Amino acid sequence: MYRVVTAGALALVLAACSKGAPIPEGGPGEAASAATAAASDTLPVMGAPRNVLAVGDSLFAGHGLANPAEAYPARLEATLRARGVNAKITNAGVSGDTSGAGAERFAFVLRSQPQKPDLVIIEFGGNDVLRALPPQETRANITRMLDAAKAAGVPVLLMGMLAPPNLGPDFKARFEPIYPELAKAYGAKLVPFFLAPVIGKPDLIQQDHIHPNPQGVDAIVAATADQVAAAIPKR
């Protein structure tokens, strides 16, 4: 059902990963984590914390948003806590990252967590599409991340992406199966198309016509929060 999308809308949304954004001092996502913690502290604590690591590009980093607490991982944490899940989400989103850049830092980021995550969310591929990188490279890079998560014993939720029609049917046929096929091979959970909630909805996009605005982020959170909650292993 996610294929019913205009070429213009797909190009607009996939471009969300292409713009660089400054990374807060202290490492990717630190400011978002601090802001989220402050917001979450006003909510009741429900049982032991469930630690989630979100690794991705600008769609996680929150490029163009005025407040780090408006980024997807921060809003997701607040939503999960409001639903009774004591989530603590670390935002390791870096704007401009391709899947190759993500694969290079993934194992280090995973090892660097103070506590072993209960779940890691992986979101890459938009920049690969924009640069028309060979789909086999994207597949190999995401495989590296899944291998590292498997070796660490951490379950994965994989955020899928689509390819724009202008790259041709052969590219689409090689790129789009990457996510469901790897999710099946590794036993990972899958969101088929992360950006589906904002496709064709300009009121959910920033004035740059590229990145989801706070309302767009909330729409994506609303569409994916149940899947994230279900992907966190029960204790």
- Read off the pLDDT of residues 135-154 as tens digits, 9 standing for 90 and up: 999 999 999 999 999 999 99
pLDDT of residue 188: 98
> At 206, is the pLDDT very low, low, confident or very high (cuts 50, 70, 90)?
confident
Over residues 47-57, the mean pLDDT reads 94
pLDDT of residue 164: 87
pLDDT at residue 88 greater than cutoff 50: yes
Over residues 211-229, the mean pLDDT reads 97
Over residues 209-227, the mean pLDDT reads 94
SS3 label, residue 156: strand
What end-to-end distance do the CA atoms of the chain give, in Å? 34
Q: What CATH architecture applies to the domain 7-231? A: 3-Layer(aba) Sandwich (3.40)
H or E element, residue 7: helix 7-14
Over residues 119-145, the mean pLDDT reads 96
pLDDT of residue 45: 56
Annotated active-site residue in 58, 97, 128, 218? 58
pLDDT at residue 15 greater than cutoff 60: no
pLDDT of residue 26: 37
> Mean pLDDT score of the chain, rounded to an integer?
85
- Whether 211 is catalytic is yes
> At 201, is the pLDDT very low, low, confident or very high (cuts 50, 70, 90)?
very high
Rounded Cα gap, residues 194 and 181, in angstroms = 16
- Whether 209 is catalytic is no
- Whether 40 is catalytic is no
Over residues 33-62, the mean pLDDT reads 73
> At 234, is the pLDDT very low, low, confident or very high (cuts 50, 70, 90)?
confident
Rounded Cα gap, residues 173 and 76, in angstroms = 31
pLDDT at residue 194 greater than cutoff 90: yes
